[in-house]
Chains A and B, each alone.
Chain A
Amino acid sequence: MYGLILLFIPSVFALLALFSGKSAKSVALAGAVLQLAFTVFAFYSLSSTAEFSFSTPWISSLGISFSLGQDAISLVLVFLTNILVPLIILSSFSGRPYSDNANFYALVLFMQTALIGVFSAMDCFLFYIFWEAALIPVYFIAAIWGGEDHIKITFKFFIYTIFGSLFMLLGIIMLYLQTPAPHSFAFADLANVQISSLVEGTIFGFFLLAFAIKMPIFPLHTWQPDTYTISPTPGTMLLSGIMLKMGIFGIIRWIIPIFPFAFNDWNFWLVTISVVGIIYASIIAIQQKDFKRLVAFSSIAHVGLISAGLFTGTLEGVQGAVIQMFNHGINVVGLFFILEIISQRTNSREIFSLGGIVHTAPKLAICFVIIMLGSVALPLTNGFAGEFLLLLGVYKYNMWLGAVAGLTIILGAVYSLRMYKNVMLGEANQTTQNFKDLTITEMAVLMPICAIVIILGLFPNLILSFTEPVSQQIVSYLAENSYAISGLLK
């Protein structure tokens, strides 16, 4: 039942925001904060995650039910969504073309509804509906308020993702027809279905295509840098902070339980591709002059490491993937917001045309350095626990791949620190000498992010111990290829 309320709050506030004109931003913020408060309340007042679940028949002739449920991993992502959306709304409060636009806030909240739906759907058909529904708002945000050449770039993004999801739809239907009659889309029925290895491999490929495009995994990433760069910053935050987690989550929730054999057959190649992607994206990131583009490529590298760890199917890899999904969401949103502040005040995104901001904006510099260190995984920041576990997982899986993947730490430090040095340090020039420090609103966005970076750096077990039982189940399930469905939801 609680799952239904979590869907209900943002959708209602989205409609309210749509019709509240100038005060839309306050309505939207109130809705997002209420949603966060309710999530925290639900989390502490419930004895088990099973109490989040809700199910009612929807289209009975097709065996589709409106069925929601949470396990520890999806709860982490629900938390991530509900923490980030209020921050994203707050970050767009002033000085942007969309700051006073009711449609914008309604789209963000509709997006939140769809994301919560993706993370809680326990019916594959419902999952698909939410999956598609999440695309429309972010496409409109990016295309209406986007930068140069936005029509072409966002359309490419749209067609790319629709391409993946329609093939996933094909896979879903094929899987559905394999369930005993009367057919069903329920997670439990799909996971128990008996299929030949050829069919399993094919459907696995269709699902993986959709998830890999969303994440994106090399070589399906070509839509991502352009889209991240031209999108307005809230759009980029939604895309990179939350939306790409849909793909990783899809692998954990749908691919592993339903296609364990195919997953085990293919995981060496998938880990290898992911590792190649890490190195490829890091090297390109080093050569970027536009800092938004640099972070876009660094995001590909980070996601590559997450997927590499996840595909190994080791406990360290899966646990690392879960905590790093959360950390990456927090860090990348913080980074994009800081870059937005800088580019808004200087009208420039060129790394080499800036410098010396630290002299006039010490608060910004401190927030920037904390979030950046979190993103390069310095010990005692949140990124460290995640990347360490991921690298350990890859190393245990294959020593050589682990060694290559380890380069990400060095390369990540190179491009991040170089960006920091050129943008913040050195002599101030004409564009940066009158740089104003953070306003109260901006502080209100960045302080929680910095706090999470440090707290999770000191106590990663807050998340790790919570998700460990589920991760352990996933790993042992992959090892045995038999799966106790009831166990997952506990």
Chain B
Amino acid sequence: MISIIILSLLGLFCMMSGLFKPSTKFIVGLSIGVILGCGTLFLTHWDNFYLIPAWDLDITYYNDMAFFDNYAISFSILLSLIVATVFSLSEYHFNQFKNYHTEHIALFIFALIGMIIMVSFDHLAMLFVGIEIMSIPLYILAGVNRKDTNSNESSIKYFLMGAFASGLLLMGMTLIYGETSSFHLDLIADYIQTNPAAVGSPILAIGVLLVFAGMLFKVSAFPFHFWTPDVYQGAPTLVTTFMSTSVKVAGFAAFFRLFYNCFLDLDGIWSDSLAIISILTITVGGVTAVFQNSMKRLLAFSSISHAGYLLITLLVANDLSSGSTILYYGATYAFASIAAFAVIMVVENYSKSDTVDSFNGLAKSNPLLAFVMTVAMLSLAGIPITGGFFAKFYILSSAIEADYYWIAVIAIINAIIGVYYYFKVIIAMYFKEQNATSAFPISIFYSTILAILVLVIILLGVFPDVVYSLF
């Protein structure tokens, strides 16, 4: 809780400090430090000037508006880590956008605050506020490359579609309030449990479906995924990294928290559609990714496909272990994606292109970059011993356990399609003629972060229990 306040102050400070033209290194370093510190502070509770451990305490804040249980704490820490990693890779971004670093960093931090609210809400209004705090900075960030029409398109598309989805969400919440006369998750859940008639109520059903659609938009699931590739491609790569990792994790954490706590008894309304949507999301994302030539678009479609896998966990949710799956999947997916985008940022910076062909022969000119990319691709494709393998494994076993055999089979087939397009990149890097003759100069700090990312991806795959058994 105290972390949210500190982060808000940090955001305001960054925004104001633009007046004094501080150096990029100072602002980025300060933000990384504060964010990591706040990440640690999530483990504590501010109790009359004493910090006490908050793990297992289940504390509520602001009149039950926010609820920091182990689930919220784990996701907040994960999101802080992701954002800190993204900041540490911001070198090339701020070379391109000189003198705007204070504003960009401030916007990223505000989005982070929104995401933390999204994973800790206990009240529908809080969820909406969180989503908006997260989205509005992102609408701006997607368009920061003002002279590039693609970036403008990305921003306006994201904004219009996002505003529409927020409208759906708000409309749904109102209808739910109309039926249950509460915004609190506990009270809504109580109402549904004590009034069996509520299950058949059309107002509640429409409300839940509208909220459902709004959330599907935020996690870019089929059929609300059309904005994703254009927005991801048009936005500056650092913003894309941020959007495709932390936003997705936060979106799923919020989605699961809402549906698991409130609407599990109404699964008759949404579970069949969710089954179909998850399969279509995996398949549409995967099959379309096969035909992409731009790396950013390829990863955009692959992120849609990964969203589909994560939707399966919502479908089979019957205890909190599905939450663990989302945490684990989110962590492995996020770090592998960050590693991939980090390599793309280097290649894009030097070769001014993000096509798969621009990676040809990278293994000869830049073995480190090629290796990092390979580990990232292997993890995204779900090959052991990377984290991505266990992520897929948890999803498959939960699907089979819930007797969704057909979903498991379709997921397997899509995993093979996934191997196909992720290996296109590996093949380009290792087996094709090289087009870059000299090595790209990379700073030591940047390569250290890359090495740490590789280590994290592999350690997650060797000791999945560490993350999976958190709550």
Contact = CB atoms under 8 A, between A and B. Distances in A.
A158 B408 CA distance: 21
B58 interface: no
Contacts of B385: 129, 133
Contact of B397 (A144, A159, A162, A176): A176
A174 interface: yes
B420 A173 contact: no
Contact of B383 (A132, A143, A155): A132
A385 to B, nearest CB: 38
Contact of B416 (A129, A162, A173, A176): A162
A169 interface: yes
A30 B205 CA distance: 70
B455 interface: no
B336 to A, nearest CB: 16
A486 interface: no
A61 B423 contact: no
A167 interface: yes
- Consensus secondary structure, chain B interface: helix
B401 A177 contact: yes
B400 A155 contact: no
Max chain A Cβ within 10 angstroms of own Cβ: one of B400, B431, B469: B431
B396 A144 contact: no
A151 interface: yes
B97 interface: no
A173 B412 contact: no
Interface string B323-353: 0000000000000000000000000000000
A129 to B, nearest CB: 5
B202 interface: no
Interface string A159-171: 1001100110110
A270 to B, nearest CB: 23
A60 interface: yes
A177 B415 CA distance: 21
Interface residues of B, number: 25
A435 interface: no
Given A61-B468, A129-B384, A170 B431 contact: no
A163 B419 CA distance: 10
Contacts, number: 58
Contacts of B183: none
Contacts of B468: 61
A144 B429 CA distance: 11
B393 interface: yes
Given A129-B385, A151-B432, A162-B416, A169 B396 contact: yes
B469 A61 contact: yes
Nearest to B424: A155
Contacts of A245: none
A292 interface: no
Given A170-B396, A173-B396, A174-B400, A159 B430 contact: no
A163 B397 contact: no
Interface in A214-259: none
Given A61-B469, A150-B431, A173-B393, 20 more contacts: A59-B463, A60-B465, A61-B465, A128-B384, A133-B384, A143-B427, A143-B431, A144-B431, A151-B431, A155-B423, A155-B427, A158-B419, A158-B423, A162-B419, A166-B412, A167-B412, A169-B393, A169-B412, A173-B397, A176-B397
In the A-B complex, the 3 residue pairs with the closest CB atoms: A129-B384, A173-B397, A166-B412
Interface of B: 383-385, 393, 396-397, 400-401, 408-409, 412, 415-416, 419-420, 423, 427, 430-432, 463-465, 468-469
Interface of A: 59-62, 128-129, 132-133, 136, 140, 143-144, 150-151, 155, 158-159, 162-163, 166-167, 169-170, 173-174, 176-177
18 contacts: A61-B465, A61-B469, A62-B465, A129-B385, A143-B431, A151-B427, A155-B423, A155-B427, A159-B416, A159-B419, A163-B416, A166-B416, A170-B400, A170-B408, A170-B409, A170-B412, A173-B396, A173-B408
